[in-house]
Structures are given as C-alpha cells and as structure tokens.
C-alpha cells in the first residue's frame, strides 16, 4: 500500500535507514517510523484475588481482561494505568509496584510494549463495570476465566510464579505472543524528522 508524506503529500519511497528498510519522503526529511504502541495493564489485587472485567467491546467481546489500555502521548504510563482503572472498572486504585515490561510482536499492526503494574483498590473503592465492560468481578488467582489477551495471561502467570517484581522480559514466549488483541491505531504514521536514540 502506498504511503504519503504528511508534510508535502508526496508518495514515500523506500530507503535504508540505520540498516533497516523504511519509507521516507524524497522531497524533505519525513520518515515513516515504525514504532510500537505502548499499553498499560493493571493487576488490581482485592479480596485475595484480582479484578477482571468482561469486555463489552471488540476485540475479545465477552472475554475477561485486566484493566488497561493504550498510553496517551502526553501521559505517564502509571497515570494511564490509573485512568484506565477509573474508566474500565470504575475504581480508584493505588499502584503498588511495577510488575514488568513486555513486548508483543505483531505482523499486521504496530507491535506493543506492555507495561504491567500491580495495584490495590483505594479506600472505599468498589469496582463496577465501566462503559467498555459487561461486568466486573474479583477472581481467585487459581480459578481465572478465559482471558481476552495472551499478554494478560502472561502478566498474571508472572505474578503467580514470582509474587515479586518481574524480570524485564525481552519478548513473550512464542506460544503467548501476538494476540489479535488490540485495535489498529488510527495514527500509525508519525512525523518525526529528527530522532535521537
Ligand atoms: Zn514530504
């Protein structure tokens, strides 16, 4: 599929940048960078279990998931985690630790960097379904329902096996990689003429 420069509208051409084949504008310095999307996920511990929501939207309609979602550009991932809990399980939470960082490779959409937090409910908070959830419940860790996203299963498994902060994983095990999970981004192309690493 052809892509076009967001600065001047010219069709982009293939070029090699930093050893990788990219698309760039022949007229100016626009490069179509292929960056991962960043998402947060939160293990909210309550009553000896974890809070899950049953999804009222695709992908994964009717299946259960951790609260979480994409991090906005102007947002710290921890703030995104807290916001998503307010939106999805209607509850204020206090993050208690960073559980881990993981990579979800994808072929047909931007890959994802997941940032998982552990949290507890704020005093007096009672989880209930937000607009994107059919219901919200606390599940014991040894009897979880089918989850919408393999990455969320991975996060909970890591919590179960360690009960300690996760090692930073470079990627998910192949068997749990690449959920059909997340919606394609409406804004995959980003103008970023200069970039330092
Ligand atoms: Zn251009």
Cα–Cα distance list, 149 to 7, 68, 74, 154, 158 (Å): 36, 11, 25, 9, 15
CA 26 to centroid of ligand 1, rounded, Å: 7
Q: What residue segments make up the domains of the chain, in order of their start?
A: 1-34, 37-172
What is the rounded CA–CA span in Å between residue 47 and residue 25? 55
CA 24 to centroid of ligand 1, rounded, Å: 8
CA 25 to centroid of ligand 1, rounded, Å: 5
CA 67 to centroid of ligand 1, rounded, Å: 39
Residue 90 confidence (pLDDT) = 97
The CA angle 164-168-174, to the nearest 5 degrees, is 110
28: phi then psi, degrees, rounded to nearest 5: -145, -165
Residue 71 confidence (pLDDT) = 98
Among residues 52, 47, 49, 41, which one has the least CA distance to residue 142? 49
Residue 165 confidence (pLDDT) = 45
150, 152, 157, 163: CA torsion to nearest 10: 160
CA 69 to centroid of ligand 1, rounded, Å: 32
CA 15 to centroid of ligand 1, rounded, Å: 14
CA 14 to centroid of ligand 1, rounded, Å: 13
CA 29 to centroid of ligand 1, rounded, Å: 7
What is the rounded CA–CA span in Å between residue 147 and residue 51? 12
Task: Judge contact between 117 and 97, C-beta under 8 A.
Answer: yes
State yes or no: pLDDT of 189 exceeds 60: no
CA 193 to centroid of ligand 1, rounded, Å: 10
Task: Judge contact between 148 and 65, C-beta under 8 A.
Answer: yes
Per-residue pLDDT tens for 140-163? Answer: 999 999 999 999 999 998 888 766
The CA angle 97-102-107, to the nearest 5 degrees, is 155
Burial 92-103 (b: 16+ CB within 10 A, else e): ebebeebbbbbe
Among residues 94, 97, 91, which one has the least CA distance to residue 115? 97
Mean pLDDT of all residues in the chain?
A: 86
Per-residue pLDDT tens for 15-50? Answer: 998 899 999 999 999 999 989 999 999 999 999 899
Per-residue pLDDT tens for 50-108? Answer: 999 999 999 999 999 999 999 999 999 999 999 999 999 999 999 999 999 999 999 88
Terminal Cα-to-Cα distance of the chain (whole angstroms): 28
Thinking of the domain 37-172, which architecture would CATH place it in?
Alpha-Beta Complex (3.90)
State yes or no: pLDDT of 172 exceeds 80: no
What global pTM score does this model have?
0.77
Q: What is the mean pLDDT of residues 110-121?
A: 96
């Amino acid at each position: 599929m052809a892509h076009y420069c967001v600065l001047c509208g010219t069709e982009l051409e293939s070029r090699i940048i930093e050893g990788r084949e990219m698309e760039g504008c022949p007229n100016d310095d626009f490069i179509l960078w292929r960056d991962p999307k960043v998402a947060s996920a939160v293990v909210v511990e309550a009553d000896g279990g974890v809070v899950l929501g049953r999804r009222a939207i695709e992908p994964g309609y009717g299946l259960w998931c951790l609260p979480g979602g994409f991090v906005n550009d102007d947002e710290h991932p921890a703030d995104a985690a807290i916001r998503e809990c307010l939106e999805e399980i209607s509850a204020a939470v206090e993050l208690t630790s960073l559980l881990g960082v993981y990579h979800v490779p994808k072929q047909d959409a931007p890959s994802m960097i997941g940032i998982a937090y552990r949290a507890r409910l704020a005093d007096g908070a009672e989880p209930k379904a937000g607009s994107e959830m059919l219901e919200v419940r606390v599940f014991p860790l040894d009897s979880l329902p089918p989850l919408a996203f393999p990455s969320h299963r991975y996060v909970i498994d890591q919590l179960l096996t360690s009960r300690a902060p996760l090692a930073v994983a470079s990627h998910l095990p192949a068997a749990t990689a690449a959920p059909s999970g997340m919606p394609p981004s409406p804004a995959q192309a980003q103008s970023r003429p200069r970039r330092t690493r």
